[in-house]
């Protein structure tokens, strides 16, 4: 399957997100939390700096490259946990809604509408005011934001599949509703769930970076990408590299994930594959 996916976005994703997240303790040149005031605000190596701090340092003398590498852990961890939980909740409710229909369908879809209507930033602000910024808060907001996308898509496909002949034959043969959903409907929408989950990675990374930038996501002094961008906003003219390189990491990661998701969708969809 990898041979059918674009190699360049995969390489970018591995270099910027996956490898740093998994091996930051071994490949990062410095401790991301350690300050060196003698080297504070040192520019990148290509703009008069040194190779010791290849991407420069921040106002406390912390290495930007090391902090970006360790920040990839938060982006990858929140994406994986949040999307898995959101997909489980949304898929389960979408299957129930599409198969049972009636008042159950109406109730679940109205809850989805309410979820889409509520601003995620406002929800995060309210939760942060109660419990304070934390990793768990960001995961909760991510699940709240994305589960509705899975529920709506799964419901739409379940409504179509439940009218197919193979489902009717299973129903006539005496199969229970749970067996029909798990044995005949869920396997037929697995490709859709995989593609949707892939496309949601970029959404989650941007959401996590936004919350951390605003100070209601990952708490300081953790080197989350949103925090790194926020650290340089007051020095954007004199020390532009503090915000630029974490911003580029976010940009390249989201762009790569979206390109991979688009190609994966084209490959898994039989209609698009024929075209």
Band of residue 4 on the pLDDT scale cut at 50, 70, 90: low
Band of residue 72 on the pLDDT scale cut at 50, 70, 90: very high
Tell me the Ramachandran region of residue 132: left when phi exceeds 0, alpha when psi lies from -120 to 50, beta otherwise: left
3-state secondary structure of 63: strand
User: Residue 237 pLDDT more than 90?
Assistant: no
Ramachandran angles phi, psi of 163, nearest 5°: -95, 0
How do residues 148-170 score in pLDDT, each as one tens digit?
Answer: 999 999 999 999 888 888 888 88
Please state the separation of Cα 31 from the chain's center in Å: 26
Side-chain-side CA neighbours of residue 265 (13 Å): 14
- Report d(CA 160, CA 247) in Å as an integer: 42
| Mean per-residue pLDDT, 260-271 | 74
User: Residue 26 pLDDT more than 90?
Assistant: yes
Bridge partner list, 57? 63
CATH number of 2-274: 1.10.3720.10
Q: How far lies 11's CA from each of 1, 8, 195, 199, 257, in Å?
A: 15, 5, 19, 17, 11
**Domain assignments of the chain as residue spans, ordered by start:** 2-274
Band of residue 2 on the pLDDT scale cut at 50, 70, 90: very low
| Mean per-residue pLDDT, 188-197 | 90
- The DSSP output letter for 183 is I
Band of residue 5 on the pLDDT scale cut at 50, 70, 90: low
Confidence (pTM): 0.89
């Amino acid at each position: 399957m990898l041979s059918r996916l674009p190699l360049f976005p995969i390489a970018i994703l591995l270099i910027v997100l996956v490898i740093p997240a998994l091996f930051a303790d071994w490949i990062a040149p410095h401790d991301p939390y350690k300050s060196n005031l003698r080297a504070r605000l040192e520019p990148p190596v290509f703009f008069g700096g040194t190779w010791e701090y290849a991407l420069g340092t921040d106002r406390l003398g912390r290495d930007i490259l090391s902090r970006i590498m360790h920040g990839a852990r938060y982006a990858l961890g929140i994406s994986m946990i949040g999307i898995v939980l959101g997909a489980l909740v949304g898929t389960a409710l979408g299957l129930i809604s599409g198969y049972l229909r009636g008042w159950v369908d109406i109730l679940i879809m109205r809850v989805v509408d309410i979820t889409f209507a509520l601003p995620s930033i406002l929800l995060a602000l309210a939760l942060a005011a109660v419990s304070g910024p934390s990793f768990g808060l960001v995961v909760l907001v991510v699940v709240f934001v994305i589960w509705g996308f899975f529920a709506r898509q799964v419901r739409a496909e379940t409504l179509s599949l439940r009218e197919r002949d193979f489902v009717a034959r299973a129903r006539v043969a005496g199969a229970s509703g749970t067996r029909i959903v798990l044995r005949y409907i869920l396997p037929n929408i697995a490709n859709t769930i995989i593609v949707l989950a892939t496309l949601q990675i970029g959404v989650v990374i941007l959401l996590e970076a936004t919350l951390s930038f605003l100070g209601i996501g990952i708490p300081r002094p953790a080197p989350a990408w949103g925090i790194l961008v926020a650290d340089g906003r007051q020095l954007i003219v004199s020390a532009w590299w503090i915000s630029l390189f974490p911003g580029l990491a976010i940009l390249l990661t989201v762009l790569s994930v979206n390109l991979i998701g688009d190609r994966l969708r084209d490959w898994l969809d039989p209609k698009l594959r024929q075209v």
